[in-house]
Structure 1
């Protein structure tokens, strides 16, 4: 490795994991009239109680006139989900960020408004960004859990239309890169939605890190094959965010959030081993997956252990007939880890692979490095050759997501 280099400016960042807080009208403007009273809508109401223990979020909405802090709540069927400070924490000091309900007026406009988002990206040396959802949750679990599947499918499609046409539309000038959802309850419908969005330039779809936690089949079954085939054929990357199984890692029901926050990578670790031992990369050779907010420092040992298990135990381990190459080779061809603050992982980059690492800023969450993502990157990547830094900060994302050479999304009207 070279020592720190200062002869080339830090590259403009392409963040593969930011977040959008959906504006109140996303579904009300797009659902058929008969569904507007049952589809997602915003209600301003007081908070009765709220907790976040053992990796589970439990809010209770009060009635009009009740005492308690007032916030904006998403209401959908029987679900009441408040906007919270954790949804949009940038601009607040670390000690000011608490689990509390908020209104749209109390959040930074860049959370939900495109021009304001671009301005905040400029402040953070970010050129382009991929954004995961908030109300639908990280892979659309909200709609997967709904009772009315016809309405849920319309909600998924409405979100995707808003994501492509509005959030990543002309006002974004190619700087916001679409990430869409699929109806997880039906792999055939999911495949159709992948193809519908791929036809308009989308190259990333959200998925669950551990589907069985959602009551869905695992990747070891054939149930997901129609969806995987669609992703393989269209070059659509499967993006899995920590918590996309609706279960954050924890150790006990009364463990404070700090425990889960320390081990957030664990679900990514479990998920990656699932995929490496599933045989899916053998069957779908162009399939690519990425782990958002999972960091990368844990990857070298897991690859080492997976290779040992495959080499020594594949006969009785149930993978000899479907995994024909060492897992580390499959990782190199198919898997991408994403990080925003991982000095240890960067010191072990040779054991991960320069082409398998992507950068992110996590705007507007409490973990975000905004507005200092450039400074964090410079401090942690100063020992790397500038060409390596360029690949990590933007080059790998351009290649993986099919962006234009200038780092912009070509599907938008600029």
Structure 2
């Protein structure tokens, strides 16, 4: 049975749990610049960079949804919504922080066991993004390249172990455009069906710069969608650093802004015009904002062209660009469903976000039943299954 023949949903946005194998060989080559997994008795396992301790992180942070079956009383959940995040003080969560990989569900660290977690959630497969986001922003570029190559090899092995129920995305080191093309050629040969790159171009560059044309051209020719995931950044822009002084709830609610610059570079500044068959995925930015934002971009483009017609491309319909080339993942974003008439139900992809805190696991089936109770079975099937299956040629 192919994935498209399986009637269960496919998560378009789930995450890997990088294990120590991803970091093998890096310490020997890069010393204390290199990330590595360190186990501390009573404090679990952490990914540590000795020369940059602020980037160190307990691996439990990437896996908190995996604790939910350990609660004697299930975490509360509102209608058509994911479960509560719980509290970091909960003993179930603390067990992950203190126990490390050994305390986690087997499906989080072993691709062969990940289908067990999928079956609990009632889904057939997952598109798998990285879990350790700093891999996109290391300043030692030789290290960044080596780490992403390690990750891609490890991800390939996870896919094989899952017998097709994990569809991993390969990471590309866009800080070095020529190396990114070479790595893209390599992962195409390995059979990857999609790639993930930072949600913003490296500092001082834009994704519409000509040096990225070979990467876009190869991805289009190979039919590999290009994904951008929230918080997977090449660097923290100055405006984001300033915004970190704002209320944390404002920051969380404003997370879609992290992809807006890139979308304009692609839609308005020429990438989509050059590569009209190339597909882009906005992962975990949700989509309730998209219809309004596209309308404002259309107005802004017209205003710029009116003020400088010789220096600005003549505006085209950005909504049509969206429908032709863009997709957005949603979890329990019912607002996005209400905008389908505008942005198109063919452009939405449901994802569980497992095993991250925002995940709908282990009750994705119930959440989807409630989200789509007023929508046709055909609409539900597109957004939860067939759109993503067709996009990634499953």
TM-score, normalising length: structure 1: 0.79
Q: Does 1:141 align with 2:110?
A: no
Residue 78 of structure 2: aligned partner: none
Residue 363 of structure 1: aligned partner: 354
Q: Does 1:126 align with 2:123?
A: yes
1:272 CA drift (Å): 2.3
- Rounded to whole Å, the distance in 1 between the matches of 2:308 and 2:261 is 16
Structure 2 residues without counterparts, runs of 5 or longer: 1-5, 69-74, 76-84
1:355-375 alpha-carbon deviations (Å, 9 max, x no partner): 111110000111101011111
Q: Does 1:205 align with 2:199?
A: no
Q: Does 1:396 align with 2:387?
A: yes
**Aligned alpha-carbon RMSD (Å):** 2.8
The answer as to whether partners of 1:278 and 1:323 remain within 8 angstroms in 2 is no
Secondary structure of the residue aligned to 2:113 is helix
Secondary structure of the residue aligned to 1:157 is helix
Structure 1 residues without counterparts, runs of 5 or longer: 1-9, 47-68, 404-414
Which is worse superposed, 88-97 or 293-302?
A: 88-97
1:37 CA drift (Å): 5.9
1:226 CA drift (Å): 2.0
Residue 20 of structure 2: aligned partner: 24
1:231 CA drift (Å): 1.2
Residue 58 of structure 2: aligned partner: 83
- Rounded to whole Å, the distance in 2 between the matches of 1:33 and 1:298 is 43
- Rounded to whole Å, the distance in 2 between the matches of 1:250 and 1:258 is 15
Q: Does 1:156 align with 2:131?
A: no
Q: Equivalences for 1:224-243 in 2 at 5 Å?
A: 224-243=212-231
- Rounded to whole Å, the distance in 2 between the matches of 1:210 and 1:36 is 26
Relative to 1, partners in 2 of residues 1:172 and 1:318: Cα closer, same or farther, differing over 3 Å? farther
Relative to 1, partners in 2 of residues 1:223 and 1:323: Cα closer, same or farther, differing over 3 Å? farther
1:161 CA drift (Å): 1.1
Relative to 1, partners in 2 of residues 1:206 and 1:12: Cα closer, same or farther, differing over 3 Å? same
1:259 CA drift (Å): 3.4
The answer as to whether partners of 2:133 and 2:232 remain within 8 angstroms in 1 is no
- Rounded to whole Å, the distance in 2 between the matches of 1:264 and 1:275 is 19
Which is worse superposed, 247-256 or 306-315?
A: 247-256
1:264 CA drift (Å): 2.1
TM-score, normalising length: structure 2: 0.83
Q: Does 1:194 align with 2:184?
A: yes
The answer as to whether partners of 2:112 and 2:163 remain within 8 angstroms in 1 is no
1:39-97 alpha-carbon deviations (Å, 9 max, x no partner): 54311248xxxxxxxxxxxxxxxxxxxxxx62322234624422244311112443323
Q: Does 1:184 align with 2:174?
A: yes
Residue 211 of structure 2: aligned partner: 223
- Rounded to whole Å, the distance in 1 between the matches of 2:244 and 2:298 is 34
The answer as to whether partners of 1:358 and 1:393 remain within 8 angstroms in 2 is yes
Residue 43 of structure 2: aligned partner: 70
- Rounded to whole Å, the distance in 2 between the matches of 1:43 and 1:234 is 39
Which is worse superposed, 241-250 or 286-295?
A: 241-250
Relative to 1, partners in 2 of residues 1:288 and 1:25: Cα closer, same or farther, differing over 3 Å? same
The answer as to whether partners of 2:323 and 2:344 remain within 8 angstroms in 1 is yes
1:143-197 alpha-carbon deviations (Å, 9 max, x no partner): x4226x1x43232212111111x1101x211110020111222111101111211
Residue 80 of structure 2: aligned partner: none
Which is worse superposed, 294-303 or 35-44?
A: 35-44
The answer as to whether partners of 1:219 and 1:278 remain within 8 angstroms in 2 is no
Residue 372 of structure 2: aligned partner: 381
1:288 CA drift (Å): 0.9
- Rounded to whole Å, the distance in 1 between the matches of 2:343 and 2:155 is 32
The answer as to whether partners of 1:250 and 1:259 remain within 8 angstroms in 2 is no
Relative to 1, partners in 2 of residues 1:346 and 1:251: Cα closer, same or farther, differing over 3 Å? farther
Which structure has greater strand proportion? 1
2:158 to 144, 167, 174: 167
1:135 CA drift (Å): 2.8
Relative to 1, partners in 2 of residues 1:172 and 1:307: Cα closer, same or farther, differing over 3 Å? same
The answer as to whether partners of 2:16 and 2:129 remain within 8 angstroms in 1 is yes
Residue 289 of structure 1: aligned partner: 280
What is the count of residue pairs matched by the alignment?
361
Relative to 1, partners in 2 of residues 1:375 and 1:251: Cα closer, same or farther, differing over 3 Å? farther
1:43 to 29, 38, 41: 38
